[in-house]
Amino acid sequence: MSDTLPSKSVLDTRREQMFPQMDAHDIARIRRFGTVRRFAPGASIMKAGEVAEGLAFVLEGVIDVRQGGAVSRRESITQHGPGSFLGELAQLSGRPALVDAQAENEVEAIVVPPRRLRDILVQEAELGERIMRALILRRVGLLQAGQTGPILIGPFGTVDMLRLENFLTRNGHPHRSLDSNTDPCGQTLLKQFTIQPEHLPIVLCPDGEILRNPSESDLARCIGLLRAIDPEQIFDAAIVGAGPAGLACAVYAASEGLSTLVLDCRSFGGQAGASSRIENYLGFPTGISGLALMARAYNQAQKFGAEIAIPDEARLVADDQVGDARFHLQLGNGELVRARSVVVASGARYRRLAIDNLSDYEGSCVHYWASAVETRLCAGQEVALTGAGNSAGQAVVFLAAKVKKLWMVVRGHSLEATMSQYLVDRIRALPNVEVLLRHEICGLDGVDGSLNKVTVRNRDSGETQTCDIGHVFSFIGADPNTDWLAGSGIELDDNGFIVTGRNGDHLLATSRYGVFAVGDVRCGSVKRVAAAVGEGSTVVSALHAYLAKQRAMLAEAAE
């Protein structure tokens, strides 16, 4: 699941790993995890939009896998014969299938449900590695093909169309987008369903439901990404935030046997998911896109059985006394999550430019993220980018390859003061990037939410200049995501970061016993992916110690 998908398809380059062949020895090891089933010729084994029973390892016969249907010809994408298996990442977490599959002839297969699939991945390391790699590559293949999943129809470049496209892209969910202004197929569908322009964009979900300009939450529920949380279940750890800190915590907690829930109000990956290329994370000498790195972590957490709910927003941490739950989290949709401990990994959110009419252009022409979705809008044009940290530097390098000219607007005297030298050197070598030091963006002008002029001011002379620019990228730092904790009794510092490790407590313990904080949201943390991952994994030993103490106290009270 990568942000910038390579031009050659994964089907061409990694077909063997995508469709590994299990030998008799492998099949013998798989048998104890599943149930042997027989399917008559023509029987449906998997239906797009419906939760499948699990992976199907073929013993006899052939399974035909098909994609498309609603707006394109339903085409066969592969066939699984003896030794091959049917399934992709959706079956790891028991979410609705993205493709249809049916028995070509009499089929006998071992069907492995999601929970037992996770057991294979953990208990059968080498076999599990081959299966996991195939599941991931198949998802990448579906993302590249863009023929499965929900179909978005609406005017390209509009706020709501971008919002929905971004949501699906950032969550690694295959989908197809059709421009209602130019795509004949999209226009025919709109007529067929008598959709009025004010209801655009619409989403055709794989189960046939049509959503009119839905919220991300409604879309996620419709396609099965988001499920209701059982209010009776008490999680050992409820983690707020699926950025690097939250996902690291989930991987370690779930792999060490704690029942774990991760909530994120937006997408997995947090700020790191916005990075076009992370080059300083240990073990990736050629660099890796933030989304690809975070997708690995997301799949890893699910492999160990962590439950992940996106988009679900935590609004408050409160006391609870049901069973041995000590806390509940109130969610934005009214649901409750009960937990024995809470880990706050809610990171930071981008700062906004102080320009009066900024909101007129946000979501369509002012961007806080530079991915394939945004570059499609401004390819070949002049754009402005403001900021001078590493995140700004990465975005400049990524965007410069796609745009005609990039104006980099920097408030300070030099890039070196705030940016890693490797990025400064790379920016200097880019012929289409002009760096304006000691400048700031002071005005935006356009028509009907479409930006066409940007004014910058020299901070020393006060002189202004206006350029014909339709897109602005803003990377001017971030503030802690802690507003939602108001009323939770958790101590914050003057800048809103969570104070931890007071009075000899564990370094990651907040002022509320049983609530921990990790990553960028924590006062004094180092704002880097590696530091967030380190804290997310470290906190798990503190969770064990805390939970053991709680259990001992409850046992003592029961005697």
Ligand X SMILES: Cc1cc2nc3c(=O)[nH]c(=O)nc-3n(C[C@H](O)[C@H](O)[C@H](O)COP(=O)(O)OP(=O)(O)OC[C@H]3O[C@@H](n4cnc5c(N)ncnc54)[C@H](O)[C@@H]3O)c2cc1C
User: How far apart are the C-alpha atoms of 181 and 462, rounded to whole Å?
Assistant: 43
Contact flag: residue 241 with ligand X (CB under 6 A): yes
> Which residue type is seen at 455?
T
- Strand-pair category, 234-240 with 260-263: parallel
Task: Please report the sign of the dihedral spanned by the C-alpha atoms of residue 189, residue 2, residue 274, residue 308.
Answer: positive
* Piece of the chain touching ligand X by CB under 6 A; list 37-45, 260-268, 296-304, 434-442: 260-268
Contact flag: residue 481 with ligand X (CB under 6 A): yes
DSSP string, 331-367: ETTS-EEEEEEEEE---EEE-----TTGGGTBTTTEE
- What does the DSSP 8-state code read for residue 519? G
> Which residue type is seen at 268?
F
Among 164, 265, 408, 469, binds ligand X (CB under 6 A): 265
Among 49, 61, 154, 243, binds ligand X (CB under 6 A): 243
CB of 538 to ligand X, least distance (A): 13
> Which residue type is seen at 249?
C
Contact flag: residue 225 with ligand X (CB under 6 A): no
CB of 478 to ligand X, least distance (A): 7
* Residue reference for tokens 């390859």: 401
Among 204, 245, 253, 406, binds ligand X (CB under 6 A): 245
* Piece of the chain touching ligand X by CB under 6 A; list 36-44, 267-275, 295-303, 439-447: 267-275
- What does the DSSP 8-state code read for residue 89? G
Q: For ligand X, which is the closer residue by CB, 10 or 392?
A: 392
* Piece of the chain touching ligand X by CB under 6 A; list 111-119, 215-223, 234-242, 333-341: 234-242
* Piece of the chain touching ligand X by CB under 6 A; list 36-44, 96-104, 166-174, 387-395: 387-395
* Residue reference for tokens 């509320």: 512
* Piece of the chain touching ligand X by CB under 6 A; list 14-22, 33-41, 335-343, 516-524: 516-524
* Piece of the chain touching ligand X by CB under 6 A; list 153-161, 170-178, 257-265, 462-470: 257-265
Contact flag: residue 272 with ligand X (CB under 6 A): yes
Among 96, 150, 206, 244, binds ligand X (CB under 6 A): 244
Contact flag: residue 534 with ligand X (CB under 6 A): no
User: How far apart are the C-alpha atoms of 259 and 541, rounded to whole Å?
Assistant: 15
Contact flag: residue 266 with ligand X (CB under 6 A): yes
* Piece of the chain touching ligand X by CB under 6 A; list 72-80, 227-235, 243-251, 551-559: 243-251
Contact flag: residue 206 with ligand X (CB under 6 A): no
- Cβ–Cβ under 8 Å, residues 394 and 272: no
Contact flag: residue 30 with ligand X (CB under 6 A): no
ω into 311 cis (within 30 of 0)? yes
Query: CA angle, corner 310, sides to 306 and 316, nearest 5?
Result: 90
Contact flag: residue 528 with ligand X (CB under 6 A): yes
As given in the structure block, the two tokens for residue 85 are 């298996």
Task: Please report the sign of the dihedral spanned by the C-alpha atoms of residue 269, residue 270, residue 274, residue 279.
Answer: negative
CB of 298 to ligand X, least distance (A): 11
A 10 A CB-CB count for 192 gives 8
Binding mask 295-334 for ligand X (x = CB under 6 A): ------------------xx--------------------
* Piece of the chain touching ligand X by CB under 6 A; list 121-129, 235-243, 466-474, 541-549: 235-243
Contact flag: residue 510 with ligand X (CB under 6 A): no
- Cβ–Cβ under 8 Å, residues 472 and 383: yes
CB of 263 to ligand X, least distance (A): 5
As given in the structure block, the two tokens for residue 475 are 């990377």
CB of 482 to ligand X, least distance (A): 8
As given in the structure block, the two tokens for residue 538 are 């470290």
Contact flag: residue 527 with ligand X (CB under 6 A): yes
User: How far apart are the C-alpha atoms of 164 and 183, rounded to whole Å?
Assistant: 18
CB of 524 to ligand X, least distance (A): 13
DSSP string, 309-336: ETT--EEEEEE--STT--EEEEETTS-E
- What does the DSSP 8-state code read for residue 418? T
Contact flag: residue 488 with ligand X (CB under 6 A): no
Determine the size of the site formed for ligand X (CB under 6 A).
Answer: 37
* Piece of the chain touching ligand X by CB under 6 A; list 34-42, 144-152, 211-219, 345-353: 345-353
Q: For ligand X, which is the closer residue by CB, 271 or 299?
A: 271
User: How far apart are the C-alpha atoms of 19 and 11, rounded to whole Å?
Assistant: 10
Contact flag: residue 294 with ligand X (CB under 6 A): no
Q: For ligand X, which is the closer residue by CB, 83 or 477?
A: 477
The candidate with the shortest Cα–Cα distance to 346, out of 249, 481, 251, is 481
CB of 431 to ligand X, least distance (A): 23
Contact flag: residue 347 with ligand X (CB under 6 A): yes
Query: Number of helices and strands (H, E) in the chain?
Result: 14, 29
Q: Can you point out the beta strands (E) in 138-266? A: 151-154, 176-179, 202-204, 210-212, 234-240, 260-263
Q: For ligand X, which is the closer residue by CB, 9 or 333?
A: 333
- Cβ–Cβ under 8 Å, residues 365 and 450: yes
Interacting residues with ligand X (CB under 6 A):
240-246, 263-266, 270-272, 274-275, 278, 280, 313-314, 345-348, 390-391, 394, 481, 484, 519-521, 527-530, 532
